[in-house]
Structure 1
Amino acid sequence: MTARTWLITGVSSGFGHALTTQLLKRGDRVIGTVRDTTKVEDLTKQYPDTFTARVLDVTDPAAVRAAVDEAFAAGRVDVVVSNAGYGLFGAAEEVTDAQVDHIIATNLTGSITLIRAALPHLRAQSGGRIVQLSTYGGQVAFPGNSMYHATKWGIEGFTESVAQEVAPFNIGVTIVEPGGARTEFRAGSAQIAEPMDAYEGNPAHGFRAMLDPAAPPAPGDAQRMAARIIESVDTEPAPLRIVLGSQALDATLGVLRKRVEGFEAQRELAASTDFPAGE
């Protein structure tokens, strides 16, 4: 198998780190972005010829474009993985304007900028893959996660549209929707809004049970999930979506079935707003 070159954002932890370690072990080359290179010093020392760490804040559009241009200037990049992101928990009324702005800039605008910056290069080299890390929360919504869902539902709509635009250029696009996994998401990167007394006992604070250190661990294995993501790049045509985790798939199917039932029940209502036939 020919070694590939991957550009991956957010490789210091979570899925980004799992992907990077597996790819390097099998002989691929990884250009990984981090906010602090000391967190990946072990990889830099172990794989000096195939791993390159770049400092990047994905909320800085100019820096994102420069990082992408630099990566492609060094040679062909086969796969671009948009992974950087985090969770924000709290009722919509509890989160601050600054928190709203930052999670949108990171999870949504940052991902959009990365993909847009990569497209001219991927077209010039006649193809490649884009992998957008989302979550089954890009299809299923829970209380207390409104802003996280807003970014993930948004990036899924953007990416699904782009997938259709770039297919003629031999560029495949895949949205990855993992369920809960044993990464740093719960205890490390997740942010929590300042709680309001009005929401005590409200479903919006149900996330506390998930974040409780005494709670059962998430069912998903990040290493197995990373392996499935890597395998997806060999699938032709590129799968538009892959859901990782049986719990995530069950929840997604349940929500989508109810959504379809709701739409089916509106056939008469929808038709009532059309011009009568012949008019």
Structure 2
Amino acid sequence: MTSEQPTPHSAIDSVLGILEIEQDPASPDVFSGDSLPQPNGRVFGGQVLAQSLLAAGRTVEDGRLPHSLHGYFLRAGDVREPITFAVERLRDGRSFSARRTHALQGGAPILSMITSFQEDQPGIDYADEMPADVPEPEDVTSALDLLSGIDHPVAKFWTQEAAFDVRHVGGSIYLGPAPSHQGQQMVWFRSRGPLPDDQLLHRALLAYACDQVMLEPILRRSGQSWVTPGLSIASLDHAMWWHRDVRVDDWLLYVQSSPSAQGGRGLGAARVFTREGVLVASVAQEGMVRLPA
């Protein structure tokens, strides 16, 4: 059982503020935004995913929500420099719309992404079930509790600036490798404050949040952790499918795995369930994972 940390609305408010991208008055398909500070000075991948999704969504007619995105992280972004989001309108059909978004710094893309949007329509409806006997999030240790007493700049950053409460079922790999080398993990998370009733925003925030943990199953399966000396890790691409409406200010469960790693790359996969067991999204991400020779 873990104690509930105070909820600093400023952390989630900072994320909401950074997601308020500005439209260019002269070019309605061009937007600009800034970045949240990061300990390494690089733009957080989840942030640029969410911003790019929101930019694309601003060019789509009301009533069409994103159901999938496929993106590539092409360069490391600099948190000190603004980001330009250039949206290309690929197609507007009777039910679907497709958009390509380039996130640019210095005229070069740091992310290139295609998103598909769809009107709400009836059809076949089924889903996998959430694993049974998962501990409730209140009974799982929060990363805020785990890291709050550590006198280290990165630990202080993630406890003071974290917009999401993240809770690893069976223990995290923040401070060392897992006891067994398995590529499966389950993680509860939710925002550290209430959010507006805006489904596009909630889907963007789900993309934002998932980039924090998508590559962790690779580290688990290979017997590594976030503190492995000389570890070099970075997201290469990201694919995401939203199956149903989602709220990230309610508890969500990531059920994760890593089917393969080779050539300095590893693949992470996840299914995202509501607390009630409804499958709301599926995610896949490949990352560069390198260790000292």
The TM-score, its normalising length taken from structure 2, stands at: 0.28
The structure carrying a bigger helix percent of its residues is 1
Q: Highest Rg: 1 or 2?
A: 1
The TM-score, its normalising length taken from structure 1, stands at: 0.29
